[in-house]
Amino acid sequence: MAKGMRELKAKIKSTQNTMQITKAMEMVAASRLRRAQEAATAARPYADKLKEVVASIAAGSKDVKHPMLQKRPIKRTGYLVITSDRGLAGGYNANLLRNVLTAIRNRHSSPDEYVLFVIGRKGRDFFRRRNMAIAKEVTGLPDSPTFADIKAIAQEAVKGFEEELYDELYIWYNQFINPITQRPVERQLLPLVSEDVNMAGPTTAYQYEPSAEEVLNTLLPKYAETLIYSALLDAKASEFGARMTAMGNATKNAQKMIQVLTLNYNRARQAAITQEISEIVGGANALS
């Protein structure tokens, strides 16, 4: 009985220590989530202004043509997948990667038909375990990434489409809905779809030097790269929201476990006391 009580007491202490860790991680994730949301909000005006200028050129110059706006027969597809470097975030990575893998297997019969770009250690390891070639990867991003951190992979992904190494480019990431809900989404990045370059209502009239075509040639790749960065910031907010929720659930589960273990400990302790009293009474009766 004493051995069982010692084991229960050790389990209670271990669970309490685990609960302290998960509670601390929940608070850290909540703090980082707030900063990630602020970063995503701060980056939005730059993307909106680029979109306005691109829309202005597209609306005012019907004859302007650019490869990034033109559809072509699909022979090869590029995928840019954004995951996290660390786990302990519930189904944040698993749900996204499962959807990506399903889409690739449904659309392609050969590895030659697609190209993978991966941001995040979890995604890299996932595809490596399945022997799926990765054209370029980025890992070890900070909690508050800047565009410089993903500039190389964004430029290479966009450049590959311009050079017709593939005929369409999709980006996969977890869209932030709220701290509890993150939705895996697929977005066509290239060729730019109508909602990416068109704006409702009137647009500002600009004069371009040297020409609208030259400005468009410069802005469209930057705009596509900005969409990648915006998706990364959204994914970061989703990651911290998922981790905050997962650690919150882990803390609640630890509390419930401690309650059950404590109840069992008290029952075992009471049983031990009752047994000792019974032995004392039995001994006294035997002597009388």
| Residue that is written with structure tokens 């370059």 in the block | 197
Q: In what order do the strands lie in the sheet with 168-176?
A: 136-138, 114-119, 77-82, 168-176, 182-190
Q: Tokens standing for 267?
A: 């029952």
Which one-letter amino acid corresponds to residue 252?
Answer: K
The number of residues making up the chain comes to 288
pLDDT in tens, 176-211: 988 889 999 999 988 876 555 555 555 566 666 777
CA atoms of 172 and 189, how far apart (whole Å): 10
pLDDT in tens, 95-131: 999 999 999 999 999 999 999 999 999 999 999 999 9
Any bridge partners for residue 138, and if so which?
A: 119
pLDDT in tens, 138-164: 999 999 999 999 999 999 999 999 899
- In 3D space, the residue among 62, 54, 39 whose CA is nearest the CA of residue 193 turns out to be 54
Please state the pTM of the whole predicted model. 0.85
- So what's the pLDDT on residue 205? 63
Which one-letter amino acid corresponds to residue 177?
Answer: I
Domains, the chain, with CATH or none? 2-26+246-287 (1.10.287.80), 45-243 (3.40.1380.10)
Q: Tokens standing for 34?
A: 């707030």
